[in-house]
Chain A
Amino acid sequence: MPAEVASLRYADVNRDVVRSLVETGPKYYITLACALGLTLVCFLFPWFYQLNLGIAAAGMNHPQVWGTYEASFIFWIGLSHSGTLLSCVLHITHSSWRKAMYRSAEAMTLFSLMVAVTMVMVHLGRPWFIHWAFPYPNQMELWPNFRSPLLFDVTAIATYLTGSSVFIYMGSIPDFAAVRDRTTGWRHHLYTLLSLGWRGTDTEWHRLGWAYTLLAVLIIPLAVSVHSIVSWDWASSIVPALHQTIFAPYFVVGAIYSGTAGIVTVMFLLRKYMSFERYITELHFDNLGKLLLALSLIWTYINVLELFTGWYSGASTELEALKYKLFGYYAPLYWEMILCCAIAPLLLISKRFRTSFVPMLVLSIAINIGMYTERFLIVGTSLSRKYLPDAWGLYVPSLVELSILVGSVALFSTLFLLFVKIFPSVSIYEVKETLPEAAELPKPATAERGGVQWQPVQ
């Protein structure tokens, strides 16, 4: 294990994590303010404008009825696909390098899911009737249509949202308890409630272990199913270039791919700005790097496969779809995507690259840009080239759409910034597990213990 980790003591962990919660510098507030402001200006205002005017505010038109909103929806769902899934897999497989990073990864899952849901709202023509898509008894005696892929989405995403929030919460209970003891005032009350009076007895640990593992087992297939189902929104249509069996795995891989890249980004930021250098180390970047490399290769393979099957079919519609994708109006975007998601990641072969932080950050962002492009192309190049050439059209996103896209990122950041001040963004007890046991360490004086002295509850 790396030196900086070896030098850690149990108490340091508590102190560092608690500090990350209670000690808030101006830098944080400024960032939060920016994020909030951006959300307001770039997300909420344009959206209200659109609600008032109608989807006319967006650039969609007759053949191209879906646009960036759908693309963003898949993108965010995709981004959500590493955190919890990865965390579960690694938990089941007892890989200890997960422990320092999984909490924030899961948070990413949670918030990108929330953003994805808001994108659905933005996409709808009459979002004020969205409750009709949920099964509740109503005077109209009408029910949603469970035969619709969109309803699969509703159920899947609802489940996934519940699952991942439960998962992240359950993993945090012992940490809430630890923080509870180290905080005062409203925070103390908050964490008292959140920790449900956790003490850390042998029984509690035992139960938690069980529950946690069971959840992990449940969530892995769930996560896989969710993005397959999202892909069916497209694949179960008969639109050329969308009506493909490869789509489910394609989407899942893509999702995990962009999600993992997202984790790298988040890790970098946490490490840099929450001063977790000693917890998030080269080791993590190295492993994530390897994972990314593998994923990028699979992703590339599936892309090639898609082109091949399309070409092999020889059908006018499929060929046209390919032609349009590779050489049509949006071709530059396509090649940009290939560059970002297929070629650039090959750098990950070198360990030096994997273990150097800034380059990894750059790459991870590049990959997600590429992945967004992919989602945009799925929507943008297929619908405009369907069966009847006479009805072909062209779609260019409007300012409102672009601004909402930016705004959604801001919304995500806002949520995440709030998260790091409420949840211990690094798991205290699991990091401790990776440390040499307390006995082997020089005993710290009580004074140092976690900085804040504990006072009994009134």
Chain B
Amino acid sequence: MGVSIVPALRALKPAALTVATGLAGVLVGFWANAAFFPGTSPRQPIEFSHKIHATDNAIPCLYCHTQARRSTVAGVPSVRKCVDCHNIVAKDRPQIRKVMSYWANQQPIPWIKVHDLPDFVYFPHKRHVQAGVACQTCHGKVETMHRVKRVAPLKMGWCLDCHKAHAVEHGLDCWTCHK
């Protein structure tokens, strides 16, 4: 006769095993969601290809996103901007027809935000562009993408790392980005 905790452990094993598998499952599920449904590259109302425009036809970013240098927001081109070219160029393509139909009944195109920051974050494009930060630093190689995909995490730590690396003036003052 004697005493030891082993038998008790043995008795508890199945229960413990079940719980453990359950928790492991949670992790897997979480990861699966992040991996297979990242939502970093939503399907846009019009399959606009940055590759065709920015690389093949070498249109500079600021041609369409005119505000980036002057304003907090880069600005998406108005429908007219699209039409200006496309009532001559590639009129027959189905996607262009779509654009034209928007234009016909003066509807704006409801683009879906790919790079979306929380409402309490104030990111001024103009400061960054004027400081010579390339669009690609945050947006990735958009000019190579057919459908835009978010590559940067856009998380606070990520911003801070860059601010630190470049010793941005007051770059670590919370009020620089949160107001």
Main SS class of interface, B? helix
Is A50 in the interface zone, CB < 8 Å from B?
no
Asked if residues B7 and A140 are in contact (CB atoms below 8 Å), the reply is no
CA distance A224 to B1 in the complex (A): 46
- A352 an interface residue at 8 Å Cβ cutoff? no
Distance between Cα atoms of A125 and B125 in the complex (Å): 33
* Interface status of A403 (Cβ within 8 A of chain B): no
Q: Does A196 belong to the interface (CB within 8 Å)?
A: yes
B52 within 8 A of A: no
- The answer to whether A193 and B5 have CB atoms under 8 Å apart is yes
Closest residue of chain B to A458, judged by CB? B7
Q: Is the CB of A197 within 8 A of B3?
A: yes
* Known A189-B12, A456-B1: A141·B7 in contact at CB below 8 Å: no
Residues in chain A near residue B155, CB distance under 8 A = 139-140
Say whether B160 contacts A141, CB under 8 Å: yes
| Chain A contacts for B85, CB-based, 8 A | none
With A189-B11, A189-B12 as given contacts, are A140 and B156 in contact (CB-CB < 8 Å)?
yes
A457 at the interface (CB under 8 A from B): yes
**Given A189-B11, A189-B12, do A197 and B157 touch, yes or no (CB 8 Å)?**
no
Indicate if A398 sits at the interface (CB-CB under 8 A). no
Which of A139, A140, A193, A198 is within 8 Å of B9, CB to CB?
A193
Q: Encode B1-35 as 1/0 by CB contact (under 8 A) with A.
A: 10111011101100000000000000000000000
Bitwise interface map of A from 176 to 205 toward B, beta carbon under 8 Å scored 1, else 0: 010000000000111011001111000000
B157–A140 touching, CB < 8 Å: yes
| Given A197-B3, A457-B3, A141-B8 contact (CB < 8 Å) | no
Max chain A C-beta neighbours (<10 A), residue from B3, B5, B153, B160: B3
Docked-complex contact A197 and B4, CB < 8 angstroms: yes
Q: Decide: B7 and A193 in contact? CB cutoff 8 A.
A: no
Taking a contact as CB atoms under 8 Å apart, the answer to whether A192 and B1 are in contact is no
Query: Given the complex, which residues of A lie within 8 Å of B158, measured CB to CB?
Result: 139
The proximity string for B residues 119-149 relative to A, scoring 1 for CB distances below 8 Å and 0 otherwise, is 0000000000000000000000000000000
Residues of B within 8 A of A190 (CB): 8
Closest CB in chain B relative to A172 CB, distance in Å = 16
Count residues of chain A with CB under 8 A from any CB of chain B: 17
Let me know if B8 and A139 touch, CB within 8 A.
no
Q: What are the interface flags for A298-318 relative to B under an 8 Å C-beta threshold, 1 for contact and 0 otherwise?
A: 000000000000000000000
**Chain A residues closer than 8 Å to B7, beta-carbon distance:** 189, 192, 457-458
Q: How many angstroms from the CA of A138 to the CA of B12 in the assembled complex?
A: 35
Bound Cα distance from A141 to B157, whole angstroms: 6
Write the B148-168 contact mask toward A (1 if CB under 8 angstroms, else 0).
000001011110100000000
Residue among A138, A197, A456 having the largest count of chain B Cβ atoms under 10 Å: A197
Bound-complex Cα distance A189 to B15 (A):
13
Distance of A199 Cα from B5 Cα, bound (Å): 12
Cβ contacts under 8 Å, A188 to chain B: 8
Q: How far is the CA of A193 from the CA of B3 in the complex (A)?
A: 11
Q: Could you give, for residues 270-290 of chain A, a 1 whenever the CB lies within 8 Å of some chain B CB and a 0 otherwise? A: 000000000000000000000
Q: How far apart sit A199 and B158, CA to CA, in the bound complex (Å)? A: 56
- Chain A residue with Cβ nearest B7: A457
The residue on B at minimum CB distance from A192 is B8
Decide: B157 and A139 in contact? CB cutoff 8 A: yes
B157 lies within 8 A of A196 (CB):
no
Q: Residue-by-residue, is A416-458 near B (CB-CB < 8 Å gives 1, otherwise 0)?
A: 0000000000000000000000000000000000000000111
CA separation between A339 and B5, bound complex, in Å?
54
CA distance A149 to B108 in the complex (A): 54
Roughly how many angstroms separate A190 CA and B157 CA in the complex, as a whole number? 45
A299 CB to closest chain B CB (Å) equals 44
Known: A189-B11, A189-B12. A197 touches B156 (CB 8 A): no
Contact A193 B156 (CB under 8 A): no
CB nearest to B11 among chain A residues: A189
Chain A residues, CB < 8 A from B160 = 141
Q: How far is the CA of A220 from the CA of B141 in the complex (A)?
A: 63
- Find chain B residues with CB under 8 A from A198 CB: 3
- The CA-CA distance from A189 to B7 in the complex, in Å, is 8
**Residue numbers in A under 8 Å from B4 (CB-CB):** 197, 457
Q: How far is the CA of A294 from the CA of B79 in the complex (A)?
A: 84
Most buried by B among A138, A188, A189: A189
A196 / chain B contacts, CB cutoff of 8 Å: 5
Is B12 within 8 A of A139, CB to CB? no
Contacts of B1 in A (CB 8 A): 456
Q: How far is the CA of A197 from the CA of B6 in the complex (A)?
A: 9
Q: In the complex, what residues of A have CB within 8 A of residue B3's CB?
A: 177, 192, 197-199, 457
20 further A-B pairs in the complex, CB-CB below 8 A; given A189-B7, A193-B5: A139-B153, A139-B155, A140-B155, A140-B156, A141-B156, A141-B160, A177-B3, A188-B8, A189-B12, A190-B8, A192-B5, A192-B7, A193-B12, A197-B3, A197-B4, A198-B3, A456-B1, A457-B3, A457-B7, A458-B7
A-B pairs, top 8 by smallest CB distance, nearest first, are A192-B8, A139-B157, A189-B8, A140-B156, A189-B11, A193-B8, A141-B157, A197-B5
Question: Could you list which residues of chain B lie within 8 angstroms of chain A, going by C-beta atoms?
Answer: 1, 3-5, 7-9, 11-12, 153, 155-158, 160
**Sampled A-B contacts (9; CB under 8 Å):** A138-B157, A141-B157, A177-B3, A189-B8, A189-B11, A193-B12, A197-B3, A197-B5, A456-B1
* Residues of chain A whose beta carbon lies under 8 Å from any beta carbon of chain B: 138-141, 177, 188-190, 192-193, 196-199, 456-458
